[in-house]
Structure 1
Amino acid sequence: MPLALTDLAPRYHSGQPAGITSVCSAHPLVLRAALRHGRDTGATVLIEATCNQVNHLGGYTGMTPVDFAAMVYRLADHEGCPHDLILLGGDHLGPNPWRHLPADQAMAEAVQMVAAYVAAGFGKIHLDASMGCEGEAEALDDAATAARAARLARVAEDTAKALDLPPPQYIIGTEVPPPGGADHELTTVAPTAPDAARQTLAVHQRVFRENGLDQALTRVLGLVVQPGVEFGNKNTVLYRPEAAKDLVAVLADTPQVIFEAHSTDYQGTTPLTQLVRDGFPILKVGPELTFVLREALYALDLIASDLLPDYGARPLFTAMEALMIKAPANWARHYHGSDAELRVLRHYSLSDRIRYYWTTPEAQSAVQALLDALRGHSVPLPLMWQHLPSAARFAGKPLDPEEVLIWRVTQSLQSYHAACTGAAS
């Protein structure tokens, strides 16, 4: 049986911790890799969409929650992944996309968004109403945050009941790293203060009870905290169990609850395993998966440039550089330095803000040209060694380039799977 969200706290508190990888991406090839990996391992495939990415108005992907769910299940059928392995989640569901509006207007949009997520069958809902709206402080206190979260939970509960759907499981808490990673080089990141974690949980419990949400409160399974992990544009801060021990001690008094760790990208198997062992069994990963996808795409671009005389000199790289220069909004505020440094960051930053460009017609056309150019060609082993040596298994036979891309993403997913399944050993 695949692991359920409701298994996580009992497993941790009984000394047999296990985890679930949360794949935070809308890229079809990343999702295909996750679904194929679930098919092959029998593991739960938790796929999450964010409020900015997918919402009732379309988000930056142009997809509503129904659209996103339909895409996931369509890809699952393509990969032969049983639907009962799939769990859909909504991340940071709250007023964030509309925080430039007055609070009443922003919350009205958030209400519609949460209802749309629940109606589309998303069973894991992260309630995040911590951000101030027009005229408010940038971050709200626990009482105001909990009151808005309770309003959204009421909508979720009523929507599920009206549509005869299973009621959702909730994640609360908002102390998360900057979306997509930090903009500067990092040395250390302080874990959440234990008293802050206790207060966030206690205030939400009180406010939910005051609003008649006792049943919903029994399905609050996780609290988002900062375990002391992060990545910037150029480096990562790895998990240090000794630095988080006081935070982890909070879980001893909360048998129903575990922690959720955001931005666990680039940690590697050992730190991820330590996170699961310490009560962070929901491991969220996003930019790492599109980073390694880009890594493989650029390697294939180089291989095609060397192998095929008519292909050109790195046309995919050239197309992506032109696209990001023409439309800098997704990276300009996050990357800093000289022109040469900016050029490197546009393509190779760990925050992987190039991921916002893959859905554009120009990028899709360049990727398709690469795949079509290489498909069926045999790549000599020395050439594969030169540009993507870990993919040597694909050399010397007719190439299916999409298989190379899915394989590369799966390598990262396997690291997460090892951490989620090996923590109790």
Structure 2
Amino acid sequence: MVAANLKGIPVGICSICSANPYVLRAGMNNAKEDRSFVLIESTSNQVNQFGGYTGMNAAGFRDFVKQLAFDEDFPADRIILGGDHLGPYPWRSEPSECAMQKAADLVRSYVEAGFTKIHLDASMRCADDGGDPRTPLDERVVIERAVALAQVAEEASDLLPPGSARPVYVIGTEVPVPGGEKSEAQAPEVTAPKAVESTLDAMQSGLQRCGLADVRDRIIAIVVQPGVEYSDNAVFEYDRSKTSGLTAFIARSGSCAYEAHSTDYQKPDALRQMVEDHYPILKVGPWLTFAFREAVFALSFIEEEWLGGRGSVSLSHIRETLESAMLEDPRDWKNYYSGDEAYLGYARKYSYSDRSRYYWPRPKVQEALSRLLKNLADYPPPLTLLSQFLPAQYEAVRDGKLRPDSDALIQDKVREVLRVYSRACGGAKL
């Protein structure tokens, strides 16, 4: 797929960066309809040997995804698992030797679990690196650490059963920290082609010094900043006139393509242009959970309108329960939003950053969600309410293309976003 893209064939793939089961199931069903592969990635914060914020290690996440695939009757051999930002980031407050040892264990665990797309990210300063934390770590140090992690990955791959796929790699670091930008984000600067050339050359030299020259052929992409980003209430659009230098450089180089992070909320034409401009890997996460949240909130409004007057029915109060969970433990949003209380209340619910995505797994929120789905299953709402709150899904139900149950409605809302990516990526079958 990458080779075809570099030859001028506008094909790509959407990388789903989420652990939300509704999102992952929607991704599988979208790929089933497209007869394509599904690429699912987890970050070092999300999934690591200590559990991450999902409580899963790499093998646990793999099994979680495989169980969802079984439930959806999706072929497991059409799932590609990737590790994003694999490096010392979760342990950056520790001395570099300790942080890198944990990063090595992290990379090893991902490869052993069958993850085949590995993003090596050693760009962050550790406790003893010194220097201004607002400035990049010296590229020589970044490359040295990335090569060390590549060596760990290769050694782990050597021990896999015969016939196992060798890992492919993504390098480069010009992305936000895992979790997204803060509210004061400004339009990002586009990466200079010379910086890309420098990173590729330095990585090749580093691999050769360590006897890993053949790994260079499995570096499929380098992460760059093509000027796309989002904050809590703004989207910075792709402008190909500003990235023509990057496009021309990678087309001449022909050795790997670009991977674009934070493509959430980009317009369909922009995503299509990115694929045409040699960004065949488009990463998306918060836009998918944003769509999930929209669907759940819409169903909660339907529940209130339809069942609010029935004294025998206990409503879910899902929106209030989610808000309470975020207020009780603000760690996952307080450093990302700023403003008065009214604005913070808006941002917690509706921001592009979608920090509420970290709170859906909480037990009380899950209990409220289960009640919402049960209420609407026990008392199916009329189509007129579906028309009011989920009009696109209403049309699909009327046309006989979609079941009117809550699970199908939520998945279809998420798939609205995934279909945008499918069209942009040209339905690549890999």
Same fold (TM over 0.5): yes
Once the two structures are TM-superposed, the CA of residue 374 in structure 1 deviates from its matched residue by: 0.4
CA distance in structure 1 between the partners assigned to 2:417 and 2:403 by the alignment:
25
Q: Which residue number in structure 1 is paired with residue 26 of structure 2?
A: 33
Once the two structures are TM-superposed, the CA of residue 178 in structure 1 deviates from its matched residue by: 4.2
Once the two structures are TM-superposed, the CA of residue 313 in structure 1 deviates from its matched residue by: 7.0
Q: Which residue number in structure 2 is paired with residue 128 of structure 1?
A: 121
Aligned partner of 1:416 among 406, 410, 421: 421
Matched, 1:216 2:193: no
CA distance in structure 1 between the partners assigned to 2:32 and 2:380 by the alignment:
28
Structure 1 stretch displaced more, 304-313 or 168-177: 304-313
Once the two structures are TM-superposed, the CA of residue 78 in structure 1 deviates from its matched residue by: 1.1
**Contact conserved, 1:42 with 1:85, CA < 8 A, in 2?**
no
Q: Which residue number in structure 1 is paired with residue 265 of structure 2?
A: 266
Q: Which residue number in structure 2 is paired with residue 3 of structure 1?
A: none
CA distance in structure 2 between the partners assigned to 1:353 and 1:187 by the alignment:
19
What stretches of structure 2 of length at least 5 have no aligned partner?
none
Once the two structures are TM-superposed, the CA of residue 394 in structure 1 deviates from its matched residue by: 4.0
**Contact conserved, 1:299 with 1:387, CA < 8 A, in 2?**
yes
Q: Which residue number in structure 1 is paired with residue 65 of structure 2?
A: 72
User: TM-score under structure 1 normalisation?
Assistant: 0.94
CA distance in structure 1 between the partners assigned to 2:6 and 2:337 by the alignment:
42
**Contact conserved, 1:174 with 1:225, CA < 8 A, in 2?**
yes
Q: Which residue number in structure 2 is paired with residue 325 of structure 1?
A: 327
Q: Which residue number in structure 1 is paired with residue 91 of structure 2?
A: 98
Structure 1 stretch displaced more, 47-56 or 195-204: 195-204
What amino acid is aligned across from residue 109 of structure 1 in structure 2? K
Q: Which residue number in structure 1 is paired with residue 102 of structure 2?
A: 109
User: TM-score under structure 2 normalisation?
Assistant: 0.93
Overall identity of the aligned pairs, in %:
43
- Structure 1 residues 70, 277: CA separation in 2 closer, same or farther (over 3 Å shift)? same
State the SS of the aligned residue for 1:91. Answer: strand
State the SS of the aligned residue for 1:375. Answer: helix
What stretches of structure 1 of length at least 5 have no aligned partner?
1-6
CA distance in structure 1 between the partners assigned to 2:4 and 2:294 by the alignment:
36
**Contact conserved, 1:273 with 1:422, CA < 8 A, in 2?**
no
What amino acid is aligned across from residue 410 of structure 1 in structure 2? R
CA-to-aligned-CA distance 1:228-282 (integer Å, 9 cap, x gap): 1011100101111101111212203321200000000011321100000000000
State the SS of the aligned residue for 1:81. Answer: coil
Structure 1 stretch displaced more, 27-36 or 310-319: 310-319
Q: Report matched runs for 1:345-384 at 5 Å.
A: 345-384=347-386
CA-to-aligned-CA distance 1:161-220 (integer Å, 9 cap, x gap): 012332200000000134443223556332111111111111111111111111211101
Once the two structures are TM-superposed, the CA of residue 153 in structure 1 deviates from its matched residue by: 0.5
CA distance in structure 2 between the partners assigned to 1:304 and 1:43 by the alignment:
36
CA-to-aligned-CA distance 1:318-372 (integer Å, 9 cap, x gap): 1111111110010011110110000000011101000000111011001001000
Structure 1 stretch displaced more, 281-290 or 132-141: 132-141
CA distance in structure 2 between the partners assigned to 1:167 and 1:381 by the alignment:
50
CA-to-aligned-CA distance 1:131-171 (integer Å, 9 cap, x gap): 01003243312111110011111110011101233220000
CA distance in structure 2 between the partners assigned to 1:185 and 1:348 by the alignment:
16
CA distance in structure 1 between the partners assigned to 2:112 and 2:258 by the alignment:
26
What amino acid is aligned across from residue 221 of structure 2 in structure 1? G
Structure 1 stretch displaced more, 375-384 or 332-341: 375-384
Matched, 1:172 2:167: no
Aligned partner of 1:161 among 152, 158, 174: 158
CA distance in structure 2 between the partners assigned to 1:75 and 1:314 by the alignment:
25
- Structure 1 residues 170, 374: CA separation in 2 closer, same or farther (over 3 Å shift)? same
CA-to-aligned-CA distance 1:56-112 (integer Å, 9 cap, x gap): 111110001001001111111111111221100000000000001100000010111
Structure 1 stretch displaced more, 227-236 or 314-323: 314-323
Structure 1 stretch displaced more, 253-262 or 412-421: 253-262
Question: Over aligned residues, Cα RMSD in angstroms?
Answer: 1.8
CA distance in structure 2 between the partners assigned to 1:167 and 1:422 by the alignment:
25
What amino acid is aligned across from residue 341 of structure 1 in structure 2? Y
Q: Which residue number in structure 2 is paired with residue 200 of structure 1?
A: 199
Structure 1 stretch displaced more, 307-316 or 366-375: 307-316
Once the two structures are TM-superposed, the CA of residue 298 in structure 1 deviates from its matched residue by: 0.4
Once the two structures are TM-superposed, the CA of residue 314 in structure 1 deviates from its matched residue by: 6.9
**Contact conserved, 1:378 with 1:398, CA < 8 A, in 2?**
no
Structure 1 stretch displaced more, 279-288 or 249-258: 249-258
CA-to-aligned-CA distance 1:32-52 (integer Å, 9 cap, x gap): 001111112111100000000
CA-to-aligned-CA distance 1:280-300 (integer Å, 9 cap, x gap): 000000000000000000000
CA distance in structure 1 between the partners assigned to 2:52 and 2:427 by the alignment:
37
**Contact conserved, 2:116 with 2:166, CA < 8 A, in 1?**
yes
State the SS of the aligned residue for 1:60. Answer: helix
